[in-house]
Amino acid sequence: MRKIDYHMHTRFSADSEASPREHIEEAIKKGLNEICFTDHKDFEYPFMPFDHDASLYFLQLKQLVNEYKDKICIKIGLEIGLDMNYINEINHYIESNDYDYVIGSIHVISKQEFYDPADFFKNKTKEQAHLDFFNETLTCVQTFDCFNCLGHLDYICRYGPYVDKQINYDQCNSLIDEILKTLISKGKGIEINTSGYALRDTAGFPNYDIVQRYYDLGGRIITVGTDSHTSDRVGQHVEDVNHHLSRIGFDDVTTFTKQKIDKE
């Protein structure tokens, strides 16, 4: 199974100062076969402008793609914040740029983000907050077609002013099933985001029970990404993820070029 990191942020994201070159060098050192830069674009994120200079992004990254072409395969992607308040703007933005791969992520709901402390959680029980998040995720994956994989499906459990932040999956399973079925019917995939290992030691976002469910429902499009904002995290936990993917039944991870699945 190929070793990839398909979720990486650099100085082109408002929340990172990382050098793309340092990410590449770390990926080579870790023995990765392929990487994809996926810097942020959100049309409205409270307190932080997740703008994206696509022209400069492509100019600089294409130079690096060419420079390192004999050492590692590099793709140029984007993490777009799916937001029901900006449907036309998001679709137009993706159509206007030639990305290899697009992650669709839920970062904001009704102009409220999740990073602690966040207004999103005010006056909500944990269960209600999590249901609101998964309901919005379902609405977004039903509405948008401009992305390839859904980002960090259950990462809402990272946040919230709750003693136990873990998701009650018995309560949320039917919603999660609908999300997975919608993705599969639309030819979309999921990512395993290894930043989740910092929270629960043995799994990324989503957990492996959800990944197994995705597979059992017929889902075969899957990527692995670290969500690295610093170069030391590039490639982290990728080998462990690949082990679990093989156990679940996957033959390989999925890679993309110009938003089309690469053929072996």
Domain that holds residue 180: 4-261
Which long-range contacts (C-beta less than 8 Å, at least 24 apart) are formed by 119-127? 121/159, 121/160, 121/161, 126/160, 126/162, 126/164, 126/165, 126/168, 127/168, 127/171
Number of domains in the chain: 1
Residues 6+ apart with CB under 8 A from 226: 5, 7, 8, 193, 194, 195, 233, 234, 235, 236, 237, 238
pLDDT in tens, 22-43: 999 999 999 999 999 999 999 9
Range 216-227 average pLDDT: 98
The confidence band for 115, taking pLDDT boundaries of 50, 70 and 90, is confident
Predicted pLDDT of residue 264: 67
The confidence band for 119, taking pLDDT boundaries of 50, 70 and 90, is confident
Mean pLDDT, rounded, of the chain: 95
The confidence band for 116, taking pLDDT boundaries of 50, 70 and 90, is low
Range 8-29 average pLDDT: 95
Separation between Cα atoms, residue 140 and residue 134, nearest integer Å: 10
Quick one: what percent of the chain has pLDDT higher than 70? 99
pTM above 0.75, yes or no: yes
Predicted pLDDT of residue 15: 87
The confidence band for 155, taking pLDDT boundaries of 50, 70 and 90, is very high
Separation between Cα atoms, residue 165 and residue 156, nearest integer Å: 9
Predicted pLDDT of residue 72: 98
Give the neighbor-by-neighbor strand order of the sheet with 73-81: 4-8, 34-41, 73-81, 101-105, 149-150, 189-193, 222-225
Of the spans 43-47, 69-73, 158-162, which averages the highest pLDDT?
A: 69-73
94: CATH: 3.20.20.140
pLDDT in tens, 125-144: 999 999 999 999 999 999 99
Range 100-122 average pLDDT: 90
Predicted pLDDT of residue 38: 98
Predicted pLDDT of residue 219: 98
Predicted pLDDT of residue 51: 87
Q: What is the DSSP letter of 201?
A: S
Range 151-157 average pLDDT: 95
Predicted pLDDT of residue 117: 67
Quick one: what percent of the chain has pLDDT higher than 90? 89
Is residue 48 over pLDDT 80? no
pLDDT in tens, 196-215: 999 888 899 999 999 999 99
pLDDT in tens, 169-197: 999 999 999 999 999 999 999 999 999 99
Is residue 14 over pLDDT 90? no
